[in-house]
Structure 1
């Protein structure tokens, strides 16, 4: 069933799911190496959704990647946390060679664009966003088995700006890792990747490092290591323990100290659970923190 525009014109769906409930428009919301995300509509609930589509023919020679895509879909279906993007439906379209899954769509896009749009933000708001991301990470890391995101950055943290809520999305590179086993593959966004990720032997603490880099971007509105003009230079600095230049632009001592905890050496990094108990968040309910971070 097509949707009708305000001017009375019918906007046809490009395709509909097997149940007839969800329709996909041609409007592209985003795309990455693994999937394309289109604007969709849930005709039963009357809400807009994100229609995520993976073309399997692009990966026909890579069974490992296809298995990972299947894992992502199954993973999304079974997650339930208010700070993780919800997955409503999943199906495989053998005729078109796609895996499709329907997820919620956040009203204000991703945190990177949202932060650029709203340049003047209080430390209190910054702490609220940070705490929500941490609560999402705590959920993933204490899940049985443990789930490592492995590609957390500000472009896959999404925002419902009308209620000040953020949610972790794009779990396409996530790995379900046994509690006693480290993961062994290199994936992620170089500017946010913990040094041990390059060595292919790591734990969920890589997400804490990436979280710290997200905080750095939120505060400075700079991509970490933007002073580097190649991945090789980023790799060299990260593995040598050289911090990004943006860290020197963080004016608030408590914010800088908190970020430094997150990007410390693996064994020195606090867990998401420990960070949620950090004094950094103690005064969130007070009215004292009105300082702007930019």
Structure 2
């Protein structure tokens, strides 16, 4: 659909550097984020008049890894099927054969990821941290109760996004998510080491690994420290995690209730509560749904 004022040469307008095949979405040069697999640019939806995120993956980087390309397509198909306030929405996707890229348009969160946002705003009440964490839990509960069950597998504060003007928090980056069957178990090792549950290394785990990662997210939110930052390599992290040694950051949590809540999340799998159970935890008694602005 053409825009009302299609003259991109107007000195006040910001030119698009790329437009999707339908002409609806235009991409700007500004980079919102960059990861190992994709780049995310600021973009505009001309039909709705809203800013969006244009995610672009250069498929030639994975020409010798068809499994990775399959996984990327899986992420896109998966995202397209999800509708939840606490999960990043996907609007459109296509493959650009000429440039060999996979492109997908998602909603944009104006304040970036939670890790950056928390570092920027160091003076935050415990109530605000609880509001954020409760919204992450709602997203996890949606994924885990989805048919079939979806395990995120790479939940950390850089994969959670914030709309700072509303306090809204959303789970994103489902690139490593696994769709599991009725037994809710998966078998491959992947994720971000500091946030990976010990049973992940045993290659037999359930959606409760996301609860462990969630506990580590809460720990980072409270202490402003990435868990196991005392370790200078992945091998040392693995050794501590697999032998049950808790991250040193946990000792910095002064509030006994907060510490107990985190410890419940990172307990052994048999003692770890589900997202649905944690949402009913007294920890959230002071945070009602109206407070969350969702």
Deviation at 1:11, TM superposition (A): 2.6
- Structure 1: distance between partners of 2:36 and 2:206: 24
Corresponding residue for 1:221? 224
Distance 1:266 1:43, change over 3 A: same
Deviation at 1:98, TM superposition (A): 1.1
Matched, 1:182 2:185: yes
The answer as to whether partners of 1:40 and 1:51 remain within 8 angstroms in 2 is yes
Corresponding residue for 1:56? 59
- Structure 2: distance between partners of 1:40 and 1:177: 33
Structure 2 residue corresponding to 1:206, chosen from 200, 205, 209: 209
- Structure 2: distance between partners of 1:64 and 1:250: 41
Structure 1 residue corresponding to 2:263, chosen from 250, 260, 263: 260
Structure 1 residue corresponding to 2:78, chosen from 75, 80, 98: 75
- Structure 2: distance between partners of 1:3 and 1:105: 25
- Structure 2: distance between partners of 1:181 and 1:252: 34
- Structure 2: distance between partners of 1:204 and 1:107: 29
Matched, 1:282 2:293: no
Structure 1 residue corresponding to 2:157, chosen from 148, 154, 165: 154
The answer as to whether partners of 1:3 and 1:13 remain within 8 angstroms in 2 is no
- Structure 2: distance between partners of 1:283 and 1:10: 46
Matched, 1:35 2:38: yes
SS in 1 for 2:276: helix
Distance 1:126 1:4, change over 3 A: farther
Q: With structure 1 as the length reference, what TM-score do the two structures score?
A: 0.93
Superposed, which structure 2 residues align to 1:68-147 within 5 Å?
Answer: 68-147=71-150
Distance 1:3 1:180, change over 3 A: farther
Runs (5+) with no aligned partner, structure 1? 286-294
Deviation at 1:9, TM superposition (A): 3.4
Corresponding residue for 2:291? none
Deviation at 1:25, TM superposition (A): 1.4
Deviation at 1:180, TM superposition (A): 1.2
Deviation at 1:279, TM superposition (A): 1.0
The answer as to whether partners of 1:3 and 1:12 remain within 8 angstroms in 2 is no
Q: With structure 2 as the length reference, what TM-score do the two structures score?
A: 0.93
The answer as to whether partners of 1:3 and 1:11 remain within 8 angstroms in 2 is no
- Structure 1: distance between partners of 2:26 and 2:173: 21
Q: How much is the aligned-residue C-alpha RMSD, in angstroms?
A: 1.6
- Structure 1: distance between partners of 2:183 and 2:287: 35
Deviation at 1:4, TM superposition (A): 6.3
Matched, 1:249 2:252: yes
Q: Which runs of 4+ in 1 moved over 4 A?
A: 1-5
Runs (5+) with no aligned partner, structure 2? 289-294
